[in-house]
Amino acid sequence: MDDKARQILSSVFGYSDYRYHQQAVIHQLIQGHDAVVLMPTGGGKSLCYQIPAMARNGVGIVISPLIALMQDQVVALQQLGVRAAFLNSTLDTEMAYAVEQQLRHGDLDLLYVAPERLMTDRFLNLLEQAPIALFAIDEAHCVSQWGHDFRPEYIRLSVLHERFPDIPRIALTATADEATRKEIIQRLALENAELFVSGFDRPNICYSISQTQGNAREELLRFIRNEHENDAGIVYCLSRKKVEQTAEWLSSKNLKALPYHAGLSAQVRQLHQQRFLKEDGIIIVATIAFGMGIDKPDVRFVAHLNLPKSIEAYYQETGRAGRDGLPANAWMMYGLQDVIMLKQMMETSDADAAHKRVEHHKLQSMLGFSELTTCRRQALLKYFDDYLEQPCGNCDTCLTPVETWDATVVAQKALSCVYKTGQRFGVTYLIDILLGKDNDRIRQFAHDTLSVYGIGKELDARQWRSIYRQLIARNLLSVDIEGHGNLRLTEQCRPVLRGELTLHLRKETRQEKSQQRGRKSIRNIKQADSTLWEALRHCRKTLAEERGVPPFVIFHDATLMEMVDRQPRTQEQFSKITGVGEKKLGAYADAFIKVIEQHINSNTDTSSSTDTMEETLRLLRSGMKADEIANHRNLKPATIYNHLAKSIEQGEIELHQAVDLTDSEIKTIQNAFLNFSDEDKKLKPVYEALEGEFDYGLLQCVKASVNELI
Ligand code: ADP
Ligand code: ZN
């Protein structure tokens, strides 16, 4: 059976090796046991149940909350020649009936169902009549009431265990934390399942977070222009309004940006999602409502224009970039306003105290993460109890180390200013006091008489905002619940005020500086290769349009990149490319091989001139004279002299190697060039001046050597 699984891996999916725990998980299921699988996004969770479903007798039932995704997955499987179908509310009765018939007749390898459909008595009865290979519960963290993707129907999935005790079950998720893991096991009755936890690192994602100086949008544009021209990406904003504005603004800058949020009609959302999947280089600007159903492998960047509420959310949202394993960017820019707003939202939410505490803790962790001055990946993995020994070298703090400074004294000034003014004011006012501004409000409160008035003139307003942001982020200050943005001291600020704790804060760098990161880019293909890359992409696009599927369903970028590298020209060579299984080999190899051949042929036209010159030189070095070479190669003497002249010019050979002339003859001709030739060094006047004594070919060679002299 394990052999059979491996056979499926290579012949159906076109992969040569398993990844992470795939092999062990597949083995476990084939043996008829249960499994809980935690694997990062893009890690390859699907294969964990797809392969055993095919290897085992019967159909694999896949439960997924993501209706939008089902169809895409089924189409992709069908492209591989797998007998797959889905059942959800988007099918009409007739179509649903047809799928049920297939199920009854054992004509399916995989069936995707929405949980609410699965739970109907009718469907459960139907399942009892069909041979079942396994149950796969995808996005298993949806059982967690603490998580943001909670689905009540998921809780009832433990029924499967009661009604089908002998059928192996597998639960899968990319959500990492311990609490969720426990909930999955308990709620789905998977106590006997083996747990497979893969590391959570996404090494191909480059993380970077910077602090806005009020120009986040411009920075985003610059980031896209510099690093992601024509790439697909997602931009996350907190509010619908900001989504609309940002999408509009990016469009006005000639980018293909589309809005996506819950306030848009279902049709518009569907349309934008489809364009994102099928067209090249679409940028979706979205609230977090977008993404869960998106399985697009070649999203090259995820940008946040606001802070996510937790590290889990950040990890999940950024995780939508680079599922194909190629380099991708997670870029975020946020500011003081974000911090204040999120804190307020949290304070004013009507969640119960326990929830609030958890949320507050999560936000605090996110803020701490954003302000880090050490490797982001190390911190991110540590948060999920994972471990990375060395700084990663692929995050902003690794690429451009952050400078810190001892900010204890300024922090004390900032904190005392809050205290002395009665903890009733917001940042802008506090900074005015520190800077000793003269205005009515300050005079009205007689704050110009305070000891803190004007004690902060060593910094400017921008720098003070940064200080306040960092103090709030470190929870030394809290934001009021009334929603005016007033700051209050927290318990934690005492040691700083008393001078018992030195505080190191990040020095704000100018944005230009942080942009100079040495990025690995997918576009780093050589110039010559990029023509082939574009040609292959074009071929893929045509095939995709003919079949009405997204381009990545034909082949992933990674597969095209491998074609660029290896330039396969036979079916045999083509079948060795990762991602090429038997079905796709049969369906697409010819088309792509043709493109590769055309590319190679058009290139040899230029390279043939080097080849033919090489041949002339080879014969020359073997002792032949120019005329003999011409004879031997059946070419005109002029062509051979052309080769020789070029070689002389390029310093490959000396003049006397190329021509049979005495030194004095050479001198004569050289002089003729210097005396008789015009600016362009035409041959004719020299030929005539020397009364036709020397052939044009000889003159050409001497001229080449004169060029060298000048
Ligand atoms: P996940 O569901 O964990 O996010 P997927 O199952 O969608 O990830 O897999 C991510 C990508 O990796 C897919 O394109 C998949 O085909 C590819 N993949 C999975 N397993 C392997 C493997 N063993 N070798 C090469 N590519 C793989
Ligand atoms: Zn790092």
Query: Which ligand sits nearest to residue 25's alpha carbon?
Result: 1
- Is the pLDDT reported for residue 511 higher than 70? no
Residue nearest to atom 5 of ligand 1 (CA): 44
Q: Band of the pLDDT at 354, cuts 50, 70, 90?
A: confident
Residue position matching structure tokens 């998921």: 154
User: How many structural domains is the chain composed of?
Assistant: 5
Q: How far apart are CA 126 and CA 233, in angstroms?
A: 42
- Is the pLDDT reported for residue 385 higher than 90? no
Amino acid of residue 627:
D
- Is the pLDDT reported for residue 514 higher than 70? no
Task: Tell me the per-residue pLDDT of 436-495, one tens digit each, with 9 for 90 and over.
Answer: 999 999 999 999 999 999 999 999 998 898 899 889 888 899 887 666 778 999 998 999
Q: Band of the pLDDT at 710, cuts 50, 70, 90?
A: low
Question: Do 391 and 430 fall into the same domain?
Answer: no
Question: Do 173 and 292 fall into the same domain?
Answer: no
- Is the pLDDT reported for residue 62 higher than 90? yes
Question: Do 362 and 248 fall into the same domain?
Answer: yes
Ligand 2 centroid to 565 CA: how many Å? Answer: 29
Confidence at residue 171, expressed as pLDDT on a 0 to 100 scale: 96
Question: Do 388 and 472 fall into the same domain?
Answer: no
Q: Band of the pLDDT at 512, cuts 50, 70, 90?
A: very low
Ligand 1 centroid to 55 CA: how many Å? Answer: 18
Which atom of ligand 1 has the smallest separation from the CA of 43?
3
Ligand 1 centroid to 673 CA: how many Å? Answer: 69
Across 564-582, average pLDDT: 91
Among 530, 465, 471, CA closest to 497: 471
Q: Identify the CATH number of the domain in which residue 538 sits.
A: 1.10.150.80
Which of residues 313 and 8 earns the better pLDDT score? 8
Domain final residue, candidates 374, 399, 424? 399
42 lines ligand 1 (CB under 6 A): yes
Query: Which ligand sits nearest to residue 138's alpha carbon?
Result: 1
Domain final residue, candidates 197, 222, 241? 197
Q: How far apart are CA 33 and CA 4, in angstroms?
A: 18
Q: How far apart are CA 17 and CA 32, in angstroms?
A: 23
- Is the pLDDT reported for residue 519 higher than 70? no
What is the DSSP-derived secondary structure letter of residue 390? Answer: S
* Token representation of residue 632: 């031997």
- Is the pLDDT reported for residue 367 higher than 60? yes
Low-confidence winner among 28-32, 223-227, 358-362, 517-521 (lowest mean pLDDT): 517-521
Angle 284-286-287 from CA coordinates, rounded to 5°: 165
* Token representation of residue 91: 């099918």
In a domain, 708, yes or no: yes
Ligand 1 centroid to 41 CA: how many Å? Answer: 9
In a domain, 353, yes or no: yes
Question: Do 18 and 159 fall into the same domain?
Answer: yes
CA dihedral (474, 475, 477, 480) positive or negative: positive
The CA-atom distances, in angstroms, between 554 and each of 40, 68, 86, 546 are 24, 19, 20, 11
Ligand 1 centroid to 15 CA: how many Å? Answer: 10
In a domain, 522, yes or no: no
Plot region of 634 (φ>0 → left; ψ -120 to 50 → alpha; else → beta): left
Across 12-40, average pLDDT: 93
Query: Which ligand sits nearest to residue 10's alpha carbon?
Result: 1
Confidence at residue 289, expressed as pLDDT on a 0 to 100 scale: 66
In a domain, 499, yes or no: yes
Q: Band of the pLDDT at 518, cuts 50, 70, 90?
A: very low
Residue nearest to atom 20 of ligand 1 (CA): 44
Across 586-614, average pLDDT: 81
For residue 307, give the 3-state DSSP assignment. Answer: coil
Ligand 2 centroid to 294 CA: how many Å? Answer: 27
Confidence at residue 59, expressed as pLDDT on a 0 to 100 scale: 96
* Token representation of residue 551: 């381009």
Question: Do 130 and 215 fall into the same domain?
Answer: no
In a domain, 518, yes or no: no
Which residues have CB under 8 Å from 341's CB, separation 6+?
Answer: 238
Q: How far apart are CA 32 and CA 168, in angstroms?
A: 5
Confidence at residue 680, expressed as pLDDT on a 0 to 100 scale: 67
Ligand 1 centroid to 172 CA: how many Å? Answer: 14
Q: How far apart are CA 465 and CA 370, in angstroms?
A: 16
79 lines ligand 1 (CB under 6 A): no
What ranges make up the beta strands (E) of 407-543? Answer: 477-479, 487-489, 504-506
Q: What is the mean pLDDT of the chain?
A: 87
**Residue 680 domain boundaries:** 612-710
Q: How many CB atoms lie within 10 A of CB 239?
A: 12
In a domain, 520, yes or no: no
Residue position matching structure tokens 């940008």: 303
Ligand 2 centroid to 473 CA: how many Å? Answer: 21
Question: Do 551 and 579 fall into the same domain?
Answer: yes
Ligand 1 centroid to 579 CA: how many Å? Answer: 10
Across 288-292, average pLDDT: 68
Question: Do 638 and 699 fall into the same domain?
Answer: yes
Query: Which ligand sits nearest to residue 562's alpha carbon?
Result: 1
* pTM of the predicted protein model: 0.71
Question: Do 8 and 89 fall into the same domain?
Answer: yes
What is the DSSP-derived secondary structure letter of residue 126? Answer: H
Ligand 1 centroid to 46 CA: how many Å? Answer: 7
- Is the pLDDT reported for residue 529 higher than 70? yes
Q: How far apart are CA 556 and CA 533, in angstroms?
A: 12
Ligand 1 centroid to 358 CA: how many Å? Answer: 33
Task: Tell me the per-residue pLDDT of 124-135, one tens digit each, with 9 for 90 and over.
Answer: 999 998 999 999
Confidence at residue 605, expressed as pLDDT on a 0 to 100 scale: 56
Mutation choice for ligand 1 from 6, 13, 72, CB with most ligand atoms inside 8 A: 13
Question: Do 472 and 494 fall into the same domain?
Answer: yes
Which residues have CB under 8 Å from 332's CB, separation 6+?
Answer: 208, 209, 210, 303, 304, 307, 314, 370
Q: How far apart are CA 509 and CA 695, in angstroms?
A: 69
Confidence at residue 648, expressed as pLDDT on a 0 to 100 scale: 87
Which atom of ligand 1 has the smallest separation from the CA of 18?
23
- Dihedral, 258, 263, 267, 269 alpha carbons, nearest 10: 40
323 lines ligand 1 (CB under 6 A): yes
In a domain, 682, yes or no: yes
Residue nearest to atom 6 of ligand 1 (CA): 44
Q: Identify the CATH number of the domain in which residue 492 sits.
A: 1.10.10.10
Which of residues 686 and 607 earns the better pLDDT score? 686
Mutation choice for ligand 1 from 11, 18, 46, 299, CB with most ligand atoms inside 8 A: 46
Q: How many CB atoms lie within 10 A of CB 467?
A: 24
45 lines ligand 1 (CB under 6 A): yes
643 lines ligand 1 (CB under 6 A): no
Q: How far apart are CA 553 and CA 558, in angstroms?
A: 12
Q: How far apart are CA 64 and CA 56, in angstroms?
A: 21
Query: Which ligand sits nearest to residue 5's alpha carbon?
Result: 1
Ligand 1 centroid to 133 CA: how many Å? Answer: 21
394 lines ligand 1 (CB under 6 A): no
CB 308 within 8 A of CB 367: no
Q: How far apart are CA 68 and CA 537, in angstroms?
A: 25
437 lines ligand 1 (CB under 6 A): no
Query: Which ligand sits nearest to residue 580's alpha carbon?
Result: 1
Q: Dihedrals φ, ψ of 589, to 5°?
A: -55, -50
Residue position matching structure tokens 């045509």: 542
Which atom of ligand 1 has the smallest separation from the CA of 19?
23
CB 235 within 8 A of CB 318: no
In a domain, 677, yes or no: yes
Q: Identify the CATH number of the domain in which residue 28 sits.
A: 3.40.50.300
Which of residues 350 and 476 earns the better pLDDT score? 476
Domain final residue, candidates 399, 420, 452? 399
For residue 234, give the 3-state DSSP assignment. Answer: strand
Question: Do 602 and 618 fall into the same domain?
Answer: no
- Is the pLDDT reported for residue 708 higher than 70? no
- Is the pLDDT reported for residue 340 higher than 90? no
The CA-atom distances, in angstroms, between 407 and each of 374, 432, 489, 496, 503 are 17, 19, 17, 10, 6
CB 324 within 8 A of CB 296: no
Ligand 2 centroid to 381 CA: how many Å? Answer: 11
* Token representation of residue 466: 């940064």
Query: Which ligand sits nearest to residue 203's alpha carbon?
Result: 2
Mutation choice for ligand 1 from 9, 18, 37, 47, CB with most ligand atoms inside 8 A: 47
Question: Do 573 and 667 fall into the same domain?
Answer: no
Residue position matching structure tokens 């032949």: 624
